Chain A
């Protein structure tokens, strides 16, 4: 883990550290050599950690007052909003916090896509990240069910019904998920249990995510391997800490604006109507962060294939390190990829937009084209592009403007030798 052995100065410190090397760990974390050219897109890792902790803390508080029972859940949420000291604040932070969490995670993912952070030797970091993202979606979905409003109830009904698309056992699985013949109290209580559990699974995976990151170290905007520590790196503390802190504060201002001034804009009005199994709302729309996948689901006319397409859209990301054949990491040196990257961003935004629209007419057509392009990007464009694209020359190091580098450190060294 560390290249130089760390010895605490004090006797007590040494005694403790010999038995549990917490001080070595702390030293590793503060000294951790980080590329000094990281831009602000790299601050979202820290921001996401903040989001996770915020959600866990506010969630714990809410769980002290919330009642997971179909007859009382809605009432208990109103009790939190009206009577519990600062209850409204804590609930609004938690509800908007989910959106902020996804905003940050999307930026984090797209940063990785742009700078090729998923490529060797960081595949494991990437795959753990995808699992975290999947768990986040599960947690967010189940959390949305808890207030037991109309959108909670019908969202739960629609999403759990996805499993009925599975041949033969589908119906059985759905009944098993519900614990009854419809979404009802048993469904609510199990969703509450899982909603409480998942954040801690995420926390564990985040530790692995960071651990896996600290093995090869951070990628950087130039995308080349760097020697650590060297003149290309700075210690994590105080340089990166303060920079992450600054970005986090900017993020918190946006967050605070939502919480204090438009706390319900990201939610749906129907969720302030108590769940009614007899009446379906006119438009069932998931939260904004799930809309692109919702669009993919609806763009396929077959029930089973729709579900398969939606799941593949997420799982395909796990195969990305092998689908992208290019040896160059950063899009900065990949002029063609850069263009396709922005097309993909636009494509996902379009999917999000049509996901919120009724699935008919032009919207449906656009959704189908966008869905097809989404898969085309990963399955065809990326593999071919990596082989055909002529990349720009890469500098040898972050500090030296000398060209001739490679995203692979050993190759870069060999090249200089040859020269």
Chain B
């Protein structure tokens, strides 16, 4: 008799605690989610760039989601150099074809994968980029060759809207 009573009481308390915990969780979520990007920030997620005035062998830098994006129009020599690198020599093996949809255009997030600094153009030991913060060297395909950075510079989602316009994001 009393055994049964205890069980029922335990069940009631457990149920109360459980339901209460669900409510606390549901209340905390909005307080956390409010720090995520808001609707107006999300709406700015893509940007279109006119690249008609970029000469061969030049890089332009555009701002996308608050970060620099390098758009480099590569010369034939540079393309050849990028393609000639053996995958075994790479820390983060990746073919140049997988990084540049059109070999002439390299569109890449200009952020060092080490700790987020912006690498310098046409510096370093590999004719590509060099990060002054902690000495990471990237080649002309933006791949990490030397230094502390763990991976190649990131390629954002992009597409050619027409011959002169690239849409990033």
B38 to chain A, nearest CB (A): 4
* List of B residues within 8 angstroms of A57 by Cβ: 31
Given the known A-B contacts A79-B40, A83-B40, are A64 and B35 also in contact in the complex, defined by CB atoms under 8 Å? Answer: yes
**Total interface residues in chain A, CB < 8 Å:** 13
Q: Say yes or no: is A89 at the interface (Cβ < 8 Å to chain B).
A: yes
Is A61 a contact of B31 with CB atoms below 8 Å? yes
* List of B residues within 8 angstroms of A87 by Cβ: 34, 38
**Total interface residues in chain B, CB < 8 Å:** 10
Q: Identify whether the interface residues of B are mostly helix, strand, loop, or mixed.
A: helix
Q: Say yes or no: is A413 at the interface (Cβ < 8 Å to chain B).
A: no
**How many contacting A-B pairs (Cβ < 8 A)?**
32
* List of B residues within 8 angstroms of A89 by Cβ: 30
Is A84 a contact of B31 with CB atoms below 8 Å? no
Q: Say yes or no: is B36 at the interface (Cβ < 8 Å to chain A).
A: yes
Q: Say yes or no: is B24 at the interface (Cβ < 8 Å to chain A).
A: no
Closest residue of chain A to B41 (Cβ to Cβ) is A83
A248 to chain B, nearest CB (A): 11
Most A CB within 10 A of own CB, among B30, B35, B36, B41: B30
Closest residue of chain A to B31 (Cβ to Cβ) is A61
A325 to chain B, nearest CB (A): 46
* List of B residues within 8 angstroms of A410 by Cβ: none
* List of B residues within 8 angstroms of A85 by Cβ: 30, 33-34, 36, 38-39
Q: Say yes or no: is A348 at the interface (Cβ < 8 Å to chain B).
A: no
Is B33 a contact of A82 with CB atoms below 8 Å? no
Is B40 a contact of A86 with CB atoms below 8 Å? no
Cα distance, A22 to B38, chains bound together (Å): 41
Is A64 a contact of B34 with CB atoms below 8 Å? yes
B9 to chain A, nearest CB (A): 12
* Binary contact readout B28-57 vs A (1 if CB under 8 angstroms, 0 otherwise): 001101111011110000000000000000
* List of A residues within 8 angstroms of B39 by Cβ: 82-85
In chain A, positions 51-72 with a C-beta closer than 8 Å to chain B are 57, 61, 64-65
* List of B residues within 8 angstroms of A61 by Cβ: 31, 34
Most A CB within 10 A of own CB, among B30, B31, B34, B41: B34
Closest residue of chain A to B36 (Cβ to Cβ) is A85
Cα distance, A149 to B30, chains bound together (Å): 26
Closest residue of chain A to B37 (Cβ to Cβ) is A85
Cα distance, A65 to B41, chains bound together (Å): 13
Q: Say yes or no: is A222 at the interface (Cβ < 8 Å to chain B).
A: no
* List of B residues within 8 angstroms of A90 by Cβ: 30-31, 34
Is B38 a contact of A83 with CB atoms below 8 Å? yes
* Binary contact readout A69-105 vs B (1 if CB under 8 angstroms, 0 otherwise): 0000000000100111111011000000000000000
Cα distance, A89 to B32, chains bound together (Å): 13
Closest residue of chain A to B28 (Cβ to Cβ) is A57
In chain B, positions 129-147 with a C-beta closer than 8 Å to chain A are none
Cα distance, A86 to B41, chains bound together (Å): 15
A386 to chain B, nearest CB (A): 45
Closest residue of chain B to A87 (Cβ to Cβ) is B34
Binding site for B on A (CB under 8 A): 57, 61, 64-65, 79, 82-87, 89-90
Sampled A-B contacts (9; CB under 8 Å): A64-B35, A79-B38, A79-B40, A83-B39, A85-B30, A86-B31, A86-B33, A87-B38, A89-B30
Binding site for A on B (CB under 8 A): 30-31, 33-36, 38-41
Kindly list 15 other residue pairs between chains A and B, CB separation below 8 angstroms, not including A84-B34, A85-B39.
Answer: A61-B31, A61-B34, A64-B35, A65-B34, A79-B40, A82-B39, A84-B38, A84-B39, A85-B33, A85-B34, A86-B30, A86-B33, A86-B34, A87-B34, A90-B31
